[in-house]
């Protein structure tokens, strides 16, 4: 089930599904550790001797955010029980506090008692072994702990009545299902402590007159010590949850509107998704600099791994988008992170954990007895490319100076050296989709872009020799791309080629959406006839010919494949691939015609987002439902970048017309 709501502050991140259950809780890094791992932390209601969980189909739910904020705006209505809940959730922007406000509305014509239950199913540090859950009478609160991880659960009603009942117990062991089952008779038994595989449930009681509404305020505080959670709990009580929610709302509204952007003729739904994308992307960035690909643990059901890593490629493209959107202060820690993890040889590895340690990988160090580098070279190149664009916009010379020798020069020297002497192309590495090893047009284009950026930066520091060296290598790569990775017969560029044992290149003719990198990384202009033919081929050959539409990654894409009808469904539509087409039309635009096509694609993205505005990685080609992880940071950042580029091109064309 996709994560329809994400909230975070750069250290604490929580995800909710469409049933309003909290499914992931990450701390102390965004993406690591996950203390829920997809377990169901739900809300239940007991009224008129009937119990119902909010994620049951009998509830009519709406899931969204308050406008321009990272505060949720959700509702759940049960027609038969005649009860409605209006829910706001938030993570405090500075402190590790999760806040929830529940407005309980009695829609019936009779007086009733309503009990609302909150369940806590944690696997602290990702494991249910050795956890403890305990009721503390001094705090009238429940807390769970293991080693240096503490989670306290508390709340009160607007009548200032605290927790009504509680239960602590064993879950999924020895025949015990968990305290959530104890809740279903409306009464919690009050057990005060349990250890091992444990959970807990608390309840609040409201007496409601006909058509009356009352509030429950609930919070979770997270810390490394018991004293820390006690202090945070006191902070909530002294400042009140209502005031803290208001501060969170105001903070994010100021943040997302800080640049006072003019959106010109973009429709409201595109503007709304742009702002949501900025906010959602921010939740996926750890304060230490790691930009995490996705934090939807539901992917664990189909693969015993996840997306909660920092891929340098994804990170560089996200940073590039945020820089262009006017948020360089958010991205500078990413570049410092890259400086810290760059290998002594000058390349970045496959992926990293949020603390900078090396992540899991399937790229081998040897193949058929021969040593090889287990890298995707575009990951190193794109960091340089993004840094070059960062300096063009922000002119932060002192920041670039700190990265020049340990990151920029070292990486650029690697890119120059890691090339085939015969062709001038980059040596073999894995493609951006991490599926095959060869020499790819996308990779070569990013290396060109990275080296040109390094050449420009070297010139800033008076290193003429290095500037010439990097530029010369970049131009040799450009020439090699045109010579070796273009098909005269097809009239378009190739996905890539594979080095045969005799040293010759075997072309890969597969139609591939990532060929957009040729103009994106400025190898060739967007109106170069070869680029035009390539992008037209992508539009015609990779557009999904169903009611859903969108662009597939490449022909016969196997990942989450839903159809064998390759002619009509070459693969599932991906948001990033569809937006690359929009970016080309924007770059190509000489007037309103091309911009109108790009705007239509932006609207397509907005139309296919989840109700909350979350963008998944890909869509089912027939139903349009999300596939793989949601949200995918790369999807949202590509939308941000396309909107910014649209605005820039609109301004440019407007200025030309005025003259």
Residues 230-271: tens digit of each pLDDT: 999 999 999 999 999 999 999 999 999 999 999 999 999 999
CB of 180 within 8 A of CB of 119? yes
| pLDDT above 80 for 174 | no
* Minimum mean pLDDT range among 37-41, 143-147, 428-432: 37-41
When pLDDT is averaged across residues 395-422 and rounded to a whole number, the result is: 97
Domain ranges within the chain, ordered by starting residue:
5-255, 310-317+332-343+364-524
| pLDDT above 90 for 176 | no
| pLDDT above 70 for 288 | yes
CB of 304 within 8 A of CB of 310? no
CB of 116 within 8 A of CB of 44? yes
Q: What percent of the chain has pLDDT over 90?
A: 93
Confidence of residue 297 (pLDDT cuts 50, 70, 90): confident
| Confidence at residue 302, expressed as pLDDT on a 0 to 100 scale | 53
- What does each C-alpha distance from 448 to 305, 340, 415 come to in angstroms? 33, 24, 9
Query: Which of these CATH numbers, 3.30.420.40, 3.30.700.30, 1.10.3720.10, 1.50.10.10, describes 310-317+332-343+364-524?
Result: 1.50.10.10
Listed residue (398, 516, 344) closest to 446, CA to CA: 516
When pLDDT is averaged across residues 179-201 and rounded to a whole number, the result is: 95
pLDDT, one tens digit per residue, over 480-502 is: 999 999 999 999 999 999 988 88
Tokens standing for 277? 């994308």
Tokens standing for 454? 């390094």
Nearby residues of 181 by Cβ (< 8 Å), 6 or more positions away: none
Nearby residues of 274 by Cβ (< 8 Å), 6 or more positions away: 263, 266, 639, 640, 643
The DSSP output letter for 55 is: T
Confidence of residue 299 (pLDDT cuts 50, 70, 90): low
Confidence of residue 177 (pLDDT cuts 50, 70, 90): confident
| pLDDT above 60 for 301 | no
| Confidence at residue 170, expressed as pLDDT on a 0 to 100 scale | 93
Mean pLDDT (the chain, rounded):
96
When pLDDT is averaged across residues 139-156 and rounded to a whole number, the result is: 97
CB of 3 within 8 A of CB of 296? yes
Confidence of residue 296 (pLDDT cuts 50, 70, 90): confident
Confidence of residue 305 (pLDDT cuts 50, 70, 90): confident
Domain 5-255 bears CATH identifier 2.70.98.10: yes
When pLDDT is averaged across residues 450-471 and rounded to a whole number, the result is: 98
- The number of residues in the chain equals 659
| pLDDT above 80 for 175 | no
- What does each C-alpha distance from 524 to 266, 377, 427, 440, 475 come to in angstroms? 28, 20, 21, 16, 11
pLDDT, one tens digit per residue, over 338-367 is: 999 999 999 999 999 999 999 999 999 998
């Amino acid at each position: 089930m996709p994560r329809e709501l994400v909230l975070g502050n750069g250290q604490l991140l929580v995800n909710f599904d469409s049933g309003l259950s909290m499914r992931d809780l990450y701390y102390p890094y965004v993406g690591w550790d996950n203390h829920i791992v997809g377990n169901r932390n739900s809300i239940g209601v007991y009224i008129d001797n009937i119990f119902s969980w909010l994620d049951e189909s009998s509830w009519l739910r709406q899931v969204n955010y308050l406008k321009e904020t990272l505060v949720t705006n959700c509702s759940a209505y049960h027609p038969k029980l005649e009860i409605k809940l209006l829910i706001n959730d938030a993570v405090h922007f500075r402190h590790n506090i999760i806040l929830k406000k529940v407005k309980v509305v009695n829609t019936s014509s009779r007086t009733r008692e309503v009990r609302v239950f909150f369940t806590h199913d944690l696997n602290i540090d990702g494991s249910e072994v050795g956890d403890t859950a305990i009721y503390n009478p001094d705090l009238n609160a429940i807390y769970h702990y293991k080693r240096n991880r503490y989670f306290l659960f508390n709340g009160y009603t607007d009548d200032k009545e605290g927790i009504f009942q509680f239960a602590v117990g064993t879950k999924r062991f020895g025949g015990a299902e968990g305290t959530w089952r104890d809740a279903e008779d409306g009464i919690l038994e009050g057990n005060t402590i349990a250890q091992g595989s444990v959970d807990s449930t608390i309840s609040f009681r409201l007496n409601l007159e006909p058509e009356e509404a009352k509030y429950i305020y609930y919070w979770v505080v997270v810390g490394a010590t018991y004293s820390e959670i006690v202090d945070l709990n006191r902070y909530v009580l002294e400042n009140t949850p209502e005031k803290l929610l208001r501060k969170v709302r105001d903070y994010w509204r100021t943040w997302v509107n800080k640049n006072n952007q003019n959106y010109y003729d973009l429709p409201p739904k595109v503007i709304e998704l742009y702002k949501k994308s900025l906010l959602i992307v921010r939740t996926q960035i750890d304060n230490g600099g790691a930009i995490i690909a996705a934090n939807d643990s539901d992917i664990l059901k189909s693969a015993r791994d996840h997306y909660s890593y920092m891929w340098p490629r994804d990170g560089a493209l996200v940073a590039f988008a945020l820089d262009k959107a006017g948020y360089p202060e958010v991205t500078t820690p990413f570049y410092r992170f890259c400086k810290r993890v760059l290998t002594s040889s000058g390349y970045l590895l496959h992926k990293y954990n949020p603390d900078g340690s090396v992540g899991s990988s399937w790229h081998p160090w040897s193949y058929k007895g021969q040593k090889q580098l287990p890298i995707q070279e575009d990951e190193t190149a794109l960091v340089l490319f993004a840094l070059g664009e960062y300096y063009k916009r922000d002119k932060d010379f002192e920041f670039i100076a700190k990265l020049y020798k340990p990151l920029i020069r070292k990486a650029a020297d690697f890119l120059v050296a890691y090339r085939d002497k015969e062709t001038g192309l980059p040596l073999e590495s894995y493609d951006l989709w991490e599926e095959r090893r060869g020499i790819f047009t996308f990779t070569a284009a990013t290396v060109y872009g990275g080296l040109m950026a390094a050449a420009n930066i070297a010139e800033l520091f008076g290193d003429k020799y290095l500037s010439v060296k990097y530029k010369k290598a970049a131009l040799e790569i450009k020439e090699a791309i045109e010579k070796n990775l273009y098909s005269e017969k097809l009239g378009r560029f190739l996905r890539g080629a594979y080095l045969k044992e005799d040293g010759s290149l075997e072309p890969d003719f597969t139609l591939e959406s990532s060929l957009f990198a040729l103009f994106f990384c400025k190898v060739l202009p967007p109106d170069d006839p070869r680029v035009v033919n390539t992008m037209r081929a992508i539009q015609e050959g990779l557009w999904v010919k169903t009611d859903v539409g969108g662009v597939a990654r490449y022909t016969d894409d196997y990942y989450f494949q839903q159809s064998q009808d390759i002619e009509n469904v070459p693969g599932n539509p991906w948001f990033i691939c569809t937006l690359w087409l929009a970016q080309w039309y924007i770059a190509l635009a000489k007037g309103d015609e091309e911009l109108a096509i790009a705007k239509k694609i932006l609207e397509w993205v907005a139309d296919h987002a989840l109700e909350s505005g979350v963008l998944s990685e890909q869509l089912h080609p027939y139903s349009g439902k999300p596939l793989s992880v949601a949200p995918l940071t790369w999807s949202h950042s590509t939308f941000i970048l396309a909107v910014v580029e649209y605005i820039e091109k609109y301004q440019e064309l407007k200025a030309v017309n005025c003259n």
